[in-house]
């Protein structure tokens, strides 16, 4: 994620006055806010844009916040979710956290506490995203990748030029070694925030990697597709 990327928050709250007050205070903290006033609008915004955090009211028209959180998690989107709720019982809190919320704040809340929790969730998420970075070069199975020069020497000794996107995708997968990287995260990190090409695009890149780097591309050792979830590099 580049340093110029401003921290973006999707604010989902149908009560106009509270929405405006929250938006203003969050903007004063330096966050970029996208507004949604119901669940469907929130899910639509998520299809088109990357967010660092969602602030989600439970009592929304048509689709309630708990259903929205559940839908987001089913699609393997790991964006942090802070739920706001007028319901204060521990059963409601447990349900919210169970359905995918990272934090739960009951109304009326103290604004300073909300801002602290927002800051904490965003920083925690950024730390997770900035996993161990690999250096300028990386070798595996007699292949050597030079990320800086955007080229690789394959196990057969042939040198290949890599495109910028190939280099970025290789780096992302290798930095998350042995872990499935969700499709959304790949599209967001490699293709840019608001352009979501089809999964087929990523599949083609993975097929190329297998051709370049695997002894047997039909039985890959390094580059794996995990159906419906994402892709994984393993050693």
pTM for the whole thing?
Answer: 0.60
Residue among 201, 194, 182 at smallest CA distance from 48: 194
Predicted pLDDT of residue 101: 94
Read off the tokens for 119.
Answer: 């800051």
The predicted pLDDT at position 1 comes to: 39
Alpha-carbon distance of 116 to 135, in angstroms, equals 34
Domains and CATH numbers, the chain: 8-129 (3.40.50.2300), 164-233 (1.10.10.10)
Secondary structure class of 137 (helix, strand, coil): strand
How far apart CA 24 and CA 7 sit, in angstroms, is 15
User: How sure is the predictor about 184, in pLDDT bands with cuts at 50, 70 and 90?
Assistant: confident
Of residues 185 and 177, more confidently modeled: 177
- pLDDT (tens digit per residue) in 71-113: 998 876 788 999 999 888 888 889 999 999 999 999 999 999 9
């Amino acid at each position: 994620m580049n340093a110029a990327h401003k921290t973006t928050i999707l604010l989902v709250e149908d009560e106009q006055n509270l929405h405006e007050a929250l938006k203003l205070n969050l903007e004063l903290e330096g966050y970029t806010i996208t507004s949604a006033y119901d669940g469907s609008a929130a899910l639509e915004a998520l299809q088109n844009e990357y967010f660092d955090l969602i602030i989600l009211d439970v009592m929304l028209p048509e689709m309630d916040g708990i259903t929205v959180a559940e839908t987001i998690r089913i699609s393997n989107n790991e964006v942090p979710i802070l739920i706001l709720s007028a319901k204060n019982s521990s059963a409601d809190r447990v349900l919210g956290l169970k359905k995918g919320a990272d934090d739960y704040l009951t109304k009326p809340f103290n604004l300073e506490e909300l801002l602290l929790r927002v800051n904490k969730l965003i920083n925690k998420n950024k730390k997770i995203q900035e996993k161990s970075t690999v250096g300028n070069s990386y070798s595996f199975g007699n292949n050597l990748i030079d990320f800086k020069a955007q080229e690789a020497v394959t196990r057969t000794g042939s040198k290949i030029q890599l495109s910028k996107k190939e280099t970025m995708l290789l780096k992302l997968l290798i930095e998350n070694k042995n872990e499935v990287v969700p499709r959304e995260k790949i599209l967001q990190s490699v293709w840019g925030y608001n352009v979501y090409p089809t999964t087929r695009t990523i599949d083609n890149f993975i097929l190329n990697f297998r051709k370049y780097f695997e002894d047997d591309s039909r039985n890959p050792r390094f580059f794996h597709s995990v159906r419906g979830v994402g892709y994984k590099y393993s050693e």
